[in-house]
Structure 1
């Protein structure tokens, strides 16, 4: 019990003012974080399967954020004996909840890919996910078009395995830190899995951000008409996707910031999309520019090959590949 003499000594403490200020600041920060998570629709997924038919949503093999991610100067291709050729894995002690197609758009980032796969395979296996990793690469020297190659990868993944029911589009430069950030599609809406990146001080920069790692079911992806095919260069295709999601009456969900944490592998920024502002202003064209119009894009699949840790899709496109859709820019 706090006696009167102890209380008097406490109130006369020369650091009392500083202590009170610190406590007030901590309370304000907590209130702000709670408010931002509410407005960002950030929540932890709940396991509604009470029949034990599937693997648990949060299996006992999870480690949280205990695994340290080390940015080595040189990285070799990792050896993961549990992975089948093509980057395929399924747990053998329970039935996986969903079948995941992990789609990684790629170009000239071999170091990033080696480092990501070094951690991603073990991360997914601790979660007891059934998955296949697809690395879709744009070849040639023409400006990068991330939207086209991700649409192509979605289509080819379904051609390879029609039972995929969750598609996770994963930037090659983001490594997940906490395996309680389960890689699973939210049946209510697309789920943005990477709200907190170290380069952005682990905070969600704005509520409509979808860049980094995004999970959609097949139905959701078709509903938003996939990615735009018209962004040549880096940037804005993610903001375009955010508008598609909103206009399709979905409210994007996310894990809380302390769970959806990622380390970014540093790199030089690519050439920015020169038409990004024009396209974003006219994002309502999305019904006429996306996965449903991929047959109007001139592209060639040069090769689909199963590597040890992933399935490699090589796509050849030129700057004229989207000429049939460019009437939408007028």
Structure 2
């Protein structure tokens, strides 16, 4: 009998312990469930089908929600733009020396198909970085359609690899006596067309650099950057026409670049050089007279090829050029961008370029 009492007491204690443990388990479970009910609710909502979720959301959307969502979207776009870094000094897609040939014909349709990234007017800016400079390419032009095709064919890919924010402007000299003409027969005035290109380009965009290029010169190395430097830059320093040598130290012809500040410092280019020759030397004198020097790439990187051609009609050597060059310092203050006059005849926006036909007047 005493053994039975002992066994019963032991059984009673065991049962009591089990009851206590069960109570504790239930209590912990309830507490855990209550604390995580919000998370479970969110989880259940995330498992709903898109249709169910859309229906529930539509019931809760308010005008304020829409406003906040739009504001959030704009903020996200702005933050993405801010994350773009400035393009590097040495863009990663440059290839160096290039093979430049003029034996195979080139069509504008071919060039357009190869440059689908361009915006109307021959505009481009890199997508993955912010260009260091905004560059206007200014080409003085008349009756050089075949040359222009090669220039566009070679230069657009080069300028894009150089990661420039650029636009191409063809400044076409029309016959001053006929406002409807697109290919004039008046005496050619290269420097004045360059001034016009500067003025017209700034009407469209806040360019800070200007590259002035003859249409028949093609660079043979894409490391020859078509941009501006701390000093005016001569880019076509090693032309096949001159045996890949600089013809003389003061030579500043072919292709050059000046920043907006440098251009205004010399009052732009002269407007009174009619016919061939002299304006490049006048520009060199302007640069030197303002205490600036000409910078150049080395003779290897600065190589370029010229498309062979006969001299244009109405572009005979300027007989007054030597006298004008001798008086640059006296005339540059009143002959330049501050005295520029012209009339725009027509503006054409092509995918590859902006062509501006102008009446430049007569000598």
TM range (shorter): 0.7 to 0.9
TM-score, reference length from structure 2 = 0.71
Q: In 2, Cα distance between the equivalents of 1:212 and 1:317?
A: 21
Partner of 2:247 in structure 1? 205
Q: From 290, 293, 311, give the equivalent of 2:339.
A: 293
Q: Does 1:54 align with 2:89?
A: no
**Higher RCO (C-alpha 8 Å, min separation 6):** 1
Post-superposition Cα deviations, 1:61-81, rounded to whole Å, max 9, x if no partner, equal: 00001x321112532111211
Q: In 1, Cα distance between the equivalents of 2:316 and 2:348?
A: 28
- Contiguous gaps of at least 5 residues in structure 2: 1-83, 176-184
Q: In 2, Cα distance between the equivalents of 1:124 and 1:117?
A: 10
Q: In 1, Cα distance between the equivalents of 2:134 and 2:361?
A: 33
User: Contact 1:62 / 1:179 at 8 angstroms: preserved in 2?
Assistant: yes
Q: From 152, 162, 166, give the equivalent of 2:196.
A: 152
Q: From 215, 219, 223, give the equivalent of 2:257.
A: 215
Partner of 1:32 in structure 2? none
Post-superposition Cα deviations, 1:229-260, rounded to whole Å, max 9, x if no partner, equal: 00000111001000000001001100001101
- Specify the structure having the higher radius of gyration (Cα): 2
Q: Which has the higher helix share?
A: 2
Post-superposition Cα deviations, 1:251-281, rounded to whole Å, max 9, x if no partner, equal: 1100001101100001112311121112112
Matches within 5 A, 1:13-52: none
Q: From 267, 271, 289, give the equivalent of 2:309.
A: 267
User: Contact 1:57 / 1:182 at 8 angstroms: preserved in 2?
Assistant: no
Q: Does 1:241 align with 2:272?
A: no
TM-score, reference length from structure 1 = 0.78
Paired positions, count: 264
Which stretches of structure 1, 4 residues or more, deviate above 4 A after TM superposition? Answer: none
Q: In 2, Cα distance between the equivalents of 1:309 and 1:184?
A: 19
Matches within 5 A, 1:95-114: 95-114=130-149
Q: CA RMSD in A?
A: 1.5
Q: Does 1:63 align with 2:108?
A: no
Other structure's SS at 2:132 match: coil
Q: In 2, Cα distance between the equivalents of 1:259 and 1:242?
A: 22
Post-superposition Cα deviations, 1:144-174, rounded to whole Å, max 9, x if no partner, equal: 011111111101111111x200000011010
